[in-house]
Amino acid sequence: MTDFKNASAPVLRPQSAGRTWDFWETTLVALIADGAFVLTGWMVLNVILAASVGVKSFTPGEFQTLASQGRWYGVFLISGAPAAIAVLWVAIRMAGREFGEYLALNWPTGGEIVRVLAITTIFMSIEGFVLSKMSTGGYQSDPTLIVGSAGGLLAWLIGGCIAGPLMEEFVVRGFLFRGWSESSLGPVGAIVLTSAVWALNHTQYDWFGRGIIFAFGLVLGHLRWTSNSTWTAVVAHSACNTAILLTLGRYV
C-alpha cells in the first residue's frame, strides 16, 4: 500500500556548510577591502574638503596636511569603513558562510567585557609608563588636535573610536584571523602575523610606535582567540582609542 503522505513530502538534503578562504585568498580579499576603504574615504573626503574649503583640487601635500587633521581624518574613517566591510560581506557570502559566523561576531558576556577592559587598562598603564620614560615632547604639534568645531571633534571621536576600530577588527581579527588561523599557521601564527601586518599598516608612526601597536595587536589577537568573539577585540580597540583621544590634549 502506497503512503501518499510520505511520497509527496519533499526530500530534504543537508545544506553545504560553506568553506573558509585559504591563506592567499584571505590575503587578497583583505587587500581589496583595504583598497575599498582608502579609495572610498579619499573620494568622499575630496568632495567634502572641496566644498568646505572652496578649492576644486589639491596638491598631494595640501591634501595630506588637511586630511591628517582630526576633523577630516574622522570623516575619512567614517566614509571608508562601510566599503571595507561590504567587501568582506561579499567574500563571505561567496564562500557560502554567514557573515556573523565567519567573523565570530558572538556577543561577549558581561564578565568577558570586564576582563577585556581590565586587560586593556593594564596594557595602557604599561604603555603609559614606558612612554613617560621615553617621550621627548607633548602633543601640541599633533595635527589630530585640529578639529575646528564641536562637529569636527564629534567626527573625530566617531571615526577614531567607533568606525575605525570596527572596520579594522572585522578585517584583521575577524577575516584575516579566520583564514590564516585555519591555514598551516594555526591560531598562534595567525595572531603574530595579523599583529605584524596591522602594525606595519600604521605608516604614520615611527618604528617604536609600530612596536607598541604590534604588542597591542597580540593582546587583541589573544582576546579574539580565547573568547571566540571578534567583538572583544572591537571593545578593547575602541576603549583604547577613546582613552587616547580623550587624553591627547587640548583640541583646537
Give the domain ranges of the chain. Answer: 22-247
Report the candidate in 150, 166, 139 with the shortest Cα–Cα distance to residue 236: 166
**Torsions phi, psi for 205 (to 5 deg):** -110, 160
What is the pTM (predicted TM-score) of this model?
0.87
116 within 8 A of 108, measured Cβ to Cβ: yes
| pLDDT value of position 51 | 81
* Tens-digit pLDDT string for the chain (252 aa): 445 444 444 444 344 478 999 999 999 999 999 999 999 999 998 888 888 776 666 677 777 777 788 888 999 999 999 999 999 999 999 999 999 999 999 999 999 999 999 999 999 999 888 888 775 544 345 788 888 888 889 999 999 999 999 999 999 999 999 999 999 999 999 999 999 999 999 888 888 889 999 999 999 999 999 999 999 999 999 999 999 998 887 788
Among left, alpha and beta (phi > 0; psi -120 to 50; other), residue 59 is beta
Rounded CA-CA distance 25/18 in Å is 15
Q: Which residue has the cell 511520497?
A: 7
For CA atoms 90, 234, 138, 77, the dihedral sign is: positive
Question: Three-state secondary structure along the chain?
Answer: CCCHHHHCCCCCCCCCCCCCCCHHHHHHHHHHHHHHHHHHHHHHHHHHHHHHHCCCCCCHHHHHHHHCCHHHHHHHHHHHHHHHHHHHHHHHHHCCCCHHHHCCCCCCCHHHHHHHHHHHHHHHHHHHHHHHHHCCCCCCCCHHHCCCCHHHHHHHHHHHHHHHHHHHHHHHHHHHHHHHHCCCCHHHHHHHHHHHHHHHCCCCCCHHHHHHHHHHHHHHHHHHHHHCCHHHHHHHHHHHHHHHHHHCCCCC
- Joined together, the cell numbers standing for residue 208 give 617604536
| pLDDT value of position 135 | 59
201 within 8 A of 63, measured Cβ to Cβ: no
For CA atoms 64, 70, 71, 77, the dihedral sign is: positive
> For the packed helices 230-247 and 207-227, what is the interaxial angle rounded to 10 degrees?
140
